[in-house]
Structure 1
């Protein structure tokens, strides 16, 4: 008779290995967070999950459970430094007969531990502080906060009732009882304010001013700013006494799902007819939309746009940049080697705005994401380059 695997012993060893990897990678730095990762059992928060495969074609995820994969393999994957998917398309998964899933849209997950601990380190908490977490998710990062500060110091808000219920159960199994709320995380929690720290585990197009009002002067907000085309980066803001917050990006392109309340409309917009707009040449092709540096600038210059590529009726390869807010558009087609044609129309000349932003960026020496910052006031939110009085762009609020 085969002996049952010792789940607790295997998990403890895997946590020790995870701590070693995160420490060696420079993500885990302080002894308090070291102890939290060493103690909190991540596998309790991902008892069943999906993991991306390398199958060709549409992105495919395979189910992972102790029953399907075996206890040892399930634990190995639970403690991998990877994001593990726990929900698709805002629908709960039928675990009675889990099958591979293709072409779906992940809507809840356990974020890769390296990013989780990096954010917790950057939150700069101290003993006795209280924290508001936006996006409970599986509850793993909530548990780390509870271990570090005490459950009575942690409030976490989750918008999805099913996700929140699973997180509550997992936290209770692990002995943590933070204040858990189900509702709109963008509205924060006025009843528990003021908070010393606010941290968001979802991306936002702008910083909800409720977070600013509910974080004490001198406190910090840590959040990922992103748009409908791409993520901008992780920003840390300090609150002052005038309902104002300001700070710089501390990292580029963290992989968080956008807050559901700010997600892009399902409809990409109307494809313009061939006779719409005016055409000119441009040296900037579609690759500038996906390059890490120029893509960041594109998101700033065209905050409500999205893009996709498909051939025109005559077979010409086209990249469409469509602005959902006002139906402005830009269509890129190849013209010659290293040159493109762009056809623009609508209220805003999208490609003109992009090229003007690119010119300012190049004139400043193509600074990194960490050379940019954000200022939030009750009236406007601006993202600036170099310094608050430098070149700036409005965030969509």
Structure 2
């Protein structure tokens, strides 16, 4: 059994290293990285792997989908800086993962002010053990982080280390007016960005995207629905496309397209055919390149590509502002709304 002085020495040693931020070690919280690294532009994340498999268990190839991830330490530090915590603030972390960022929060604020929720009980148990070895005992909860943790609310800050399709209403309700939510807004076409939102007295929240092409794995309940049987694309209305599907190869343009079609999913068949589907609404758009021209055929109760084109054309007219120009507004009972500013 550890002597209390030994625990305090370990805690002080870890704290001194944490205070140096960029020199903070990830051991033992991250024993080693997985053999396969999943990168999305800015190398924002590293695989933890498929639900019941920890990095140390990996032997050879991986055949199952990843279900959680270990965030690159540099991104952890950037997000904690963006969180703008101050002494005495109460923080809810959604996604304990290895416990690395949890440890940094504990050192900065103290254990009693840190609550961390992890959806995977096995991952949560490993994090609790690692944190205890460093002398940190925050409030750790195994459960659905999208529901927050009302028992310790209200929070001054909420930080999520998973992507969300929309900001959960529970986070708004559990954040103190004037408090902030830091989370990555992710679309189903594969573009995402970190947002910092301030919660207001009326229960709404607003703020801006922070830039950097930050990407996290989506929270499991926010994953896109299965496509099922693809639509019969022989039907529908066809016309020449004003904007071609190749615009979706650009990260920022793809995010703009997701604003227009938040439930759209994109399939690509070779270089010529691109299919977009909104499973819930039942709309689709098939784009085909012929030479240097694009044609689009659309079906269902709405015109999916018409909406995307309208947004893209307006975005181009406004001189293609970067995502850091986008303002996000969230209300508990209505879809989140995004607009962009053309002012410098």
Question: Scaled by the length of structure 2, what TM-score is found?
Answer: 0.87
- Work out whether 1:276 is the aligned partner of 2:219: no
- Work out whether 1:341 is the aligned partner of 2:295: yes
Structure 1 373/308 Cα, relative in aligned 2: closer, same or farther at 3 Å? same
Aligned to 1:362: 316
- Distance in 2, matches of 1:82 and 1:189, equals 26
- Work out whether 1:35 is the aligned partner of 2:54: no
Which of 70, 88, 99 is the aligned partner of 1:110?
70
Which of 292, 309, 313 is the aligned partner of 2:251?
292
SS of the aligned residue for 1:50 comes to coil
- Distance in 2, matches of 1:122 and 1:310, equals 39
> Per-residue deviation at 1:254?
0.6
Aligned to 2:126: 166
> Per-residue deviation at 1:233?
1.0
Residues 373 and 383, structure 1, Cα contact 8 Å, conserved in 2:
yes
Residues 319 and 332, structure 1, Cα contact 8 Å, conserved in 2:
yes
Aligned to 1:85: 47
Aligned to 1:67: none
Structure 1: segments with no counterpart, 5+ residues: 1-14, 16-30, 54-58, 61-80, 391-397
- Distance in 2, matches of 1:347 and 1:300, equals 19
> Per-residue deviation at 1:246?
0.9
Structure 1 38/210 Cα, relative in aligned 2: closer, same or farther at 3 Å? same
Q: Deviations along 1:134-181, whole A, 9 cap, x unmatched? A: 111111110111111111110000111111111111111111110000
Residues 233 and 286, structure 2, Cα contact 8 Å, conserved in 1:
no
Structure 1 93/201 Cα, relative in aligned 2: closer, same or farther at 3 Å? closer
SS of the aligned residue for 1:256 comes to coil
- Work out whether 1:244 is the aligned partner of 2:236: no
Q: Deviations along 1:309-338, whole A, 9 cap, x unmatched? A: 226xxxx9421111111221111111222x
Structure 1 378/163 Cα, relative in aligned 2: closer, same or farther at 3 Å? same
SS of the aligned residue for 1:106 comes to coil
- Distance in 2, matches of 1:113 and 1:49, equals 11
Structure 2: segments with no counterpart, 5+ residues: 1-13
Residues 116 and 138, structure 2, Cα contact 8 Å, conserved in 1:
yes
Which of 297, 314, 320 is the aligned partner of 2:275?
320
Provide the alpha-carbon RMSD of the alignment: 2.5
- Distance in 2, matches of 1:289 and 1:103, equals 28
- Distance in 2, matches of 1:94 and 1:138, equals 11
Q: How many residues of Structure 1 are paired with residues of Structure 2 in the alignment?
A: 325
SS of the aligned residue for 2:189 comes to coil
SS of the aligned residue for 2:137 comes to coil
> Per-residue deviation at 1:268?
2.0
- Distance in 2, matches of 1:158 and 1:371, equals 32
- Distance in 2, matches of 1:38 and 1:171, equals 18
Q: Deviations along 1:103-148, whole A, 9 cap, x unmatched? A: 6432222211121111100111111111100111111110111111
Runs of 4+ that moved beyond 4 A: 31-34, 93-96
SS of the aligned residue for 2:217 comes to coil
Q: Where does 1:377-392 land on structure 2 (aligned, <5 Å)?
A: 377-380=331-334, 381-386=336-341
> Per-residue deviation at 1:95?
5.4
